[in-house]
Amino acid sequence: MTDQTLGQLYALASAFSFAFASIGISVNQRRGYPNDGAFLSVVITVLFAFGLFVIFERGVLPSTDDPLFLEGILWFSMAGLFAMVFGRTLVFRSIKLLGVTRGTTVKKFNPFFSVFFAFLFLSELFSAWEMVGMGALAAALALLVSDKSRKYASQDPLKTHSFGATALLYLPGILACLAYAVSYIARKIGLDTLSVPAFGTFVSAVSGLLFYLLAATFSGTYRGFVFGGLKNIRPMTLGIGISMSLGQVLFFTALAYEKLSTVVVISALETFIAIFLSVVVFRLEQRPSVKQLGAACLATIGVGLVTFY
């Protein structure tokens, strides 16, 4: 198995993990549980990342004599802040406001921001087939977003809102995409600077945790977020934390083996995995329309072209 194939498998596993987390967030929201698992997922990510560091790099720190050591730490820390603080918080908020299908669909604008940044900052070029694949993915997203038939089995969170209010509800998801895109670029540059993927993942996770703990010493809001995130932990909340953390770790690991653009596009399958789970498995939403099925097919074709060509 080549490194590229391994990276693609990690990216696909990450998509499944994020999809399960999205389902859990939606279920928690519907049941009115106060603990959404956001801060718990940060703590679990630190534990997962430390385990990877011990297993794959034997807990050996990179040499501090390396002139690029500090620069690498800064890039990894930046990746952690944008992914685990800004991106993750906004994703939780977006799924709560929009539900599974809309929330994960908005999140899948990630490829557009990330691929553009990869081209701009990492000089990653694309073949003709990859461009066709991106076009298929864009068409799939356009179909899914344009579809108006999807309604929740019990309620539609956008049904009672005006156009302007509805547009504002999409804002957290769009900002989350930008935050994650910055995080992916920082992570990739960090790996190019200091080639220690497991240690880098651990540094990113710790930087996110330290931000919340430091903010909690000055802000009552963050204090409530931290202490509230460690109370009333139900099985669903724990599942959200584990799934979100595992997805983040797998995604960061994938970047060590495959180029950013490919990893991001494969992760776009999360939307369609989440739709399948919410419609077929957990019956949170109604049966998909023709447009939604067409979008799923286009996305599958697009991801295949980007991956295998």
Asked whether 19 and 216 are in contact (CB, 8 A), the reply is no
**Both structure tokens of 228:** 């509230």
Q: What angle do CA 251, 127, 134 make, to 5 degrees?
A: 55
Mean pLDDT, residues 36-47 taken together: 85
pLDDT at 149 > cutoff 60 = no
The C-alpha atoms of residue 236 and residue 233 are separated, in whole angstroms, by: 8
CA dihedral 304, 305, 307, 309 (to 10 degrees): 140
pLDDT at 152 > cutoff 50 = no
Asked whether 5 and 244 are in contact (CB, 8 A), the reply is no
Model confidence at 303, pLDDT cuts 50, 70, 90, reads low
**pLDDT over 90 percentage in the chain:** 13
Between 44 and 233, the higher pLDDT residue: 44
Model confidence at 148, pLDDT cuts 50, 70, 90, reads low
Model confidence at 25, pLDDT cuts 50, 70, 90, reads confident
Q: What is the pLDDT of residues 155-213, one digit of tens each?
A: 454 454 554 555 577 788 888 888 988 898 898 889 889 888 889 889 998 999 999 99
Positive/negative CA dihedral, 256, 261, 266, 272: positive
Between 236 and 115, the higher pLDDT residue: 236
Q: What local confidence, expressed as pLDDT, does residue 106 receive?
A: 73
pLDDT at 49 > cutoff 80 = yes
Q: What local confidence, expressed as pLDDT, does residue 155 receive?
A: 46
pLDDT at 82 > cutoff 90 = yes
Between 302 and 47, the higher pLDDT residue: 47
The C-alpha atoms of residue 219 and residue 46 are separated, in whole angstroms, by: 22
pTM value? Answer: 0.75
Burial of 289 (0-12, 13-18, 19+ CB in 10 A): middle
Q: What is the pLDDT of residues 245-260, one digit of tens each?
A: 888 888 878 877 887 7
Question: Mean pLDDT over all residues of the chain?
Answer: 79
Which range has the worst mean pLDDT, 12-21, 86-95, 194-203, 270-279? 270-279
Query: What residue segments make up the domains of the chain, in order of their start?
Result: 3-308
Q: What local confidence, expressed as pLDDT, does residue 240 receive?
A: 86
Q: What is the pLDDT of residues 131-146, one digit of tens each?
A: 787 787 778 767 766 6
